Copies of this chain bind each other. A is one copy, B any other.
């Protein structure tokens, strides 16, 4: 159940078709998942969202593709975004996430969830040594 119905024939709109073609080319797969299909109700929103995601997730950068997917999962589960958790867990597996890596990810996110609750409860003052403006030399 969604809050809008996807367009009946999305690729009849040339802007939507161009994005879908780019998704297929970028991923080397014919599959268009529901997120993009539903976003196609507004071609400008589809374009902006896809270009933003592609720029960050598909372009070579300081972090390798699997690490980026693990971070994406971590944010998505903390935000309780069910669709995002499913799609990015699948993407992480496709990029090499083994069960051992997945278990390690779960260990870190659950440890963070545990200490986040403690620190949001205690409101402990931040140590001044953690102040980047005062103490960190950056490269």
Contact = CB atoms under 8 A, between A and B. Distances in A.
A4 B130 CA distance: 10
A14 interface: no
Given A61-B107, A130-B90, A113 B117 contact: yes
21 contacts: A3-B89, A3-B90, A34-B125, A34-B127, A35-B115, A39-B118, A41-B103, A44-B103, A48-B55, A63-B108, A67-B67, A70-B71, A79-B113, A86-B123, A86-B130, A87-B127, A89-B132, A105-B121, A110-B114, A113-B113, A113-B114
Given A75-B112, A106-B45, A112-B72, A86 B1 contact: yes
A53 B115 CA distance: 9
Given A78-B120, A86-B123, A132 B99 contact: no
Interface in A82-98: 82-90, 93, 98
A25 interface: no
Given A38-B124, A131-B1, A53 B119 contact: no
